[in-house]
Amino acid sequence: MKELIAKLQETQTLAKAEWITLLSQRTPDLTEELFERACRVRIQHYGKNVYIRGLIEFTNYCRNDCYYCGIRKSNRNISRYRLSCEEILSCCHEGYELGFRTFVLQGGEDPWFTDQRMAHLITLIKEHYPDCAVTLSIGEKEEASYRLFREAGADRYLLRHETFHPAHYRHLHPQELSASHRQQCLFTLRNLGFQVGSGFMVGSPGQTPEYLAEDMLFLKKLNPHMVGIGPFVPHHDTPFAQEQAGTLELTLYLLGLLRLMLPKALLPATTALGALSENGQQLGILAGANVIMPNLSPLQNRALYSLYDNKPNTGTQAAENLAQLCEKMNQIGYKIVTDRGDSLVY
């Protein structure tokens, strides 16, 4: 098994059967070996720098009905909000003062934010903060919309493929959404010159080592600049309320594997990882991650962007507590940097 890890590091790829073996026969010994290698590779490319992104969750209206997600349209039990342009700019202002040089605009698929409104918003942010990167995470759109966003100045786009396998995708999403369309969007975004982030939930209902192996093969083929993975965590008002959460261990293991497969990728230690354990994000960094995305949304809205239960938005997950996060990174020998943190392969 250790030979497989060595082979992955050397060739940055594996066959499907080899992935399945690695994913289904995880041991503490193997994990330790993996994290050591992953950290070495990450240090080789990025040193001990940890990049930060200010996450602005600007709308929780959504026209989609993903079975896992707490802001799905069928959930009538949450109050909905959308931030005004002024509120979003004020988040950016606060973030800029704190040292953030990337703003991530994430939201449900909210028709109120038409392409024109989005383009206007992006233009304004880039005018005010020309030295900052703007990342969008607003789901599946037509190529013309993505092009408009790019022309308005958006630099990056996060769109997790969620799961590669069509039947598994169908298990997680309603009929009108498809794995192939989502994947197509990712290639379109790449071709338009975005730095692209994909990814998936770990331990989502019905996930198997075989499906995860296919996720790894898909990511190898897409070769994205960023990969966001985090454990699935159930939300009480969704069809998956009674399902088991994904584990910290498997998420960390996958982060290590991703670091070896895509050595120069930007890999966030995600909020959901922090939801499973107080030290989740520190452990994520020690498994090979190099990005953290603290919450920069207005305080009164944070709890309403409830993708899953007990989603953290205080402590080191809150942008205003950046000093605390710096301290936590220092504790493990890493350093938060104020830098756009662009992809090395871009």
Question: Where do contacts with ligand SAH occur on this chain (CB under 6 A)?
Answer: 68-69, 106, 108-109, 137-139, 159-160, 162, 201, 230, 232-233, 235, 272, 307-308
252: Cα within 13 Å, side-chain hemisphere: 26
Please identify, using beta-carbon distances, which residue of 159 and 196 lies nearer to ligand SAH.
159
CB of 180 to ligand SAH, least distance (A): 15
Taking the complex as a whole, how short is the minimal distance between the CB of residue 109 and ligand SAH, in angstroms?
A: 5
59 or 282: whose CB is closer to ligand SAH? 59
| Residue 275 beta carbon to ligand SAH: minimum distance, rounded to whole angstroms | 8
Smaller CB distance to ligand SAH: residue 37 or 57?
57
Provide, rounded to whole angstroms, the least separation between the CB of residue 259 and ligand SAH: 20
**Measured from the CB of residue 189, what is the shortest distance to ligand SAH in angstroms?**
11
Q: Which is nearer to ligand SAH, 91 or 185 (CB)?
A: 185
Structure tokens at 69: 């997600």
**Nearest CB to ligand SAH, comparing residues 34 and 269:** 269
Q: Is 194 exposed, middle or buried (0-12, 13-18, 19+ CB in 10 A)?
A: buried
Q: For ligand SAH, which is the closer residue by CB, 201 or 261?
A: 201
**Can you tell me which residue has the tokens 């944070």?**
302
CA dist 254 and 278 (Å) reads 19
Of 113, 116, 112, 93, give the one whose Cα is nearest residue 103: 93
Find the shortest distance in angstroms from Cβ 70 to ligand SAH: 6
Cβ closest to ligand SAH, residue 238 vs residue 282: 238
Closest approach of ligand SAH to the CB of residue 235, in Å: 5
